[in-house]
């Protein structure tokens, strides 16, 4: 139980395009999901907290107009990287809160050319 999926697992896009990443809780409902970014050999950096049916809460320094988050259902949250640039290339990981435990997705590797 408590499985979280992400799609796609990796994506390559051209600079200036937008990329959508999906995060799904497969066998439980999650009113709260989280989006993280991870740079090589570093810990996870929280980008935003996504709450079903309400606006996401962004961490300081994260541009909400660039990283659009939508949590339209209890099992799905999406992160859209708008007008992506090479510096947005990273590993993006989502998690879903089940009770007091966060369950993580497998991550999405984004490469912007």
Partner 1 sequence: AQSVTQPDIHITVSEGASLELRCNYSYGATPYLFWYVQSPGQGLQLLLKYFSGDTLVQGIKGFEAEFKRSQSSFNLRKPSVHWSDAAEYFCAVYSGNTPLVFGKGTRLSVIA
Residues that bind partner 1 (CB under 8 A): 2, 4, 6, 34, 41-44, 46, 49, 91, 93, 95, 100-107, 109
Question: Which C-beta is closer to partner 1: that of 2 or that of 76?
Answer: 2
What separation in angstroms does the CA of 58 have from each of 3, 43, 62, 85, 95?
24, 18, 6, 20, 15
In the bound complex, what is the minimum distance in angstroms from residue 43's beta carbon to partner 1?
Answer: 5
Question: Which C-beta is closer to partner 1: that of 82 or that of 89?
Answer: 89
3-state helix, strand, coil in the chain (%, to 5): 5, 55, 40
The answer to whether residues 36 and 44 touch, using CB atoms and an 8 Å cutoff, is: yes
In the bound complex, what is the minimum distance in angstroms from residue 94's beta carbon to partner 1?
Answer: 8
In the bound complex, what is the minimum distance in angstroms from residue 109's beta carbon to partner 1?
Answer: 7
Strand partners, 104: 95
Question: Which C-beta is closer to partner 1: that of 11 or that of 82?
Answer: 11
């Amino acid at each position: 139980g408590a499985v979280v999926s992400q799609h796609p697992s990796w994506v390559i896009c051209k600079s200036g395009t937008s990329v959508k990443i999906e995060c799904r809780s497969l066998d439980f409902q999650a009113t709260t999901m989280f989006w993280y970014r991870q740079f090589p050999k570093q810990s996870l950096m929280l980008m935003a907290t996504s709450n079903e049916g309400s606006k996401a809460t962004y961490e300081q320094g994260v541009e909400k107009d660039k990283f659009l988050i939508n949590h339209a259902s209890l099992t799905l949250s999406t992160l859209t990287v708008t007008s992506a640039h090479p510096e947005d290339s990273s590993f993006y990981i989502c998690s879903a809160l089940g009770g007091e435990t966060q369950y993580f997705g497998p991550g999405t590797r984004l490469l912007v050319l």
